[in-house]
Amino acid sequence: MRFRLSDRQVGVLFMLPLLVSVALFLVWPIVEAIRLSFVRYNPLRPDDQPFVWFDNYLFVLEDPLFWESFRQALVWTGISTLAQAVIGVGLALLLHQPLRGINAFRGLLLFPYIVPTVVIALNWRWLFNAEIGIVNHLLLSAGIISERVAWLSTPDMAMASAILLNVWKYTPFVVIVVLARLQTIPTELYDAAKVDGAGAIRRFRDITLPQLAEVLAVVVVFRTIWTFNKFEEIYLLTRGGPGTSTYNLALYAFDQAMANLRMGVGAASGVIMLVLLLAGSLLYIRLTGFGREDRAA
C-alpha cells in the first residue's frame, strides 16, 4: 500500500518547523522569563532558586532608576516612532512619483536598513565625536555653531543623537511599507479629485491619508514595539549615559540580570515591558479603529 497524506496533514507537516521554532525561541523564553520573575536566582548559585512571589516586581516598581529608565524609554520610543512615521510617509510620497531613475533611489533607500547596527553605532560615535567628529567640523565650517558640541557627553544631545541614529536606520522600513500601499491606491480616485478641483493638500488629506490609515497603524505598532525593546543601539552608542539620560528599560533589565546578577529582577523587568507593550498596542489599535471595517463587513 502506498503511504498517502491528506492535504491537512501535508499542511501541518510544512508548518511543523515554524511551530517548533516559535515554541523554542518565542514561547519557551517568555514562559521561562515569567517563571524567573517569581524566584530569586543568582547564576553563580544555579541550584538555589527560592520562590519569592512578587518580591522581584516590588523591587522593580520601588526602584527610582526603573521609573527614570521608563521615562527615558517613553521619550526615546515616542520621538523615534513619530519621526520615522512622518519622514517615512514624506519619502514614500516622493519615491512614488513617476520620475526617471526613481528605482535606483528606492534601492539606495534600503542601505541604512541592511547595515549591521554595530557598524552604524561605531561610525556614529566617530561622526559625533566632540573633538575629531566630522559633524562638528561641518557645522563649524558653515558657521552654524561657534564652538564644538559634545553630542554624546551632554544629556539632551546624547538622547537626540541616539534618536537620530534610530530614525536614520529604521525609516526605510516605514518607507517600504507605505510605498507598497501607495502603489495600490486606485489612480481614479486622484483623477476624480482633480476634476472636482481638489489641490495636492486636499487630495493628500482626503484620499492618501485615509488609504494609508490601516498600514500606518500596523507600522506604528511594530515600530513602537521594536524601538521600546531596543538595547544594542543605545548600549553601543552611549551605554545609557551620560548619567541616565539615555538609559531605557532594555538597559535596565540587562544591567539587573547581567551586571547585578539579579536574574529574577531582570526577568520581572522584561515581563513588565511585555505587559506595557501589549496594553499600549491594544489601546492604540482600539483608538485608531484598525480592523473595524473588516469586523463590520
What is the CATH code of the structural domain delimited by 55-288? 1.10.3720.10
pTM of the entire predicted model: 0.84
Q: What is the mean predicted confidence (pLDDT) over 69-78?
A: 93
For the cut 50, the answer to whether the pLDDT of residue 296 exceeds it is no
pLDDT in tens, 204-222: 888 889 999 889 988 988 8
For the cut 90, the answer to whether the pLDDT of residue 111 exceeds it is no
Q: What percent of the chain has pLDDT over 70?
A: 96
pLDDT of residue 197: 85
Residues 6+ positions from 157 with CB-CB distance below 8 Å = 149, 150, 151
Q: Which of 4-13, 71-80, 189-198 has the highest mean pLDDT?
A: 71-80
pLDDT of residue 115: 87
C-alpha distance from residue 184 to each of 87, 177, 213, 215, 283 (Å): 20, 11, 14, 12, 28
Contact 121, 246 (CB under 8 A): no
pLDDT of residue 79: 95
List % helix, strand, coil for the chain (3-state, nearest 5). Answer: 70, 0, 30
pLDDT in tens, 115-137: 888 898 989 999 998 888 899 99
Q: What is the mean pLDDT of the chain?
A: 87
Q: Which long-range contacts (CB under 8 A, 24 or more apart) does 232-236 make?
A: 232/117, 232/118, 232/121, 233/117, 233/120, 233/121, 233/162, 233/165, 233/166, 233/169, 234/76, 234/162, 236/117, 236/118, 236/121, 236/122, 236/125
pLDDT in tens, 248-288: 999 999 999 888 889 999 999 999 999 988 888 888 777 76
Q: Which of 82-86, 93-97, 218-222, 260-264 has the highest mean pLDDT?
A: 82-86
Domain boundaries, the chain: 55-288
Q: What is the mean predicted confidence (pLDDT) over 82-104?
A: 88
Q: What is the mean predicted confidence (pLDDT) over 49-56?
A: 89
pLDDT in tens, 134-175: 999 999 998 888 888 888 888 888 999 999 999 999 999 999
Q: What is the mean predicted confidence (pLDDT) over 194-209?
A: 87
The values of phi and psi at residue 173, to 5°, are -60, -45
pLDDT in tens, 38-52: 999 888 787 788 888
For the cut 90, the answer to whether the pLDDT of residue 70 exceeds it is yes
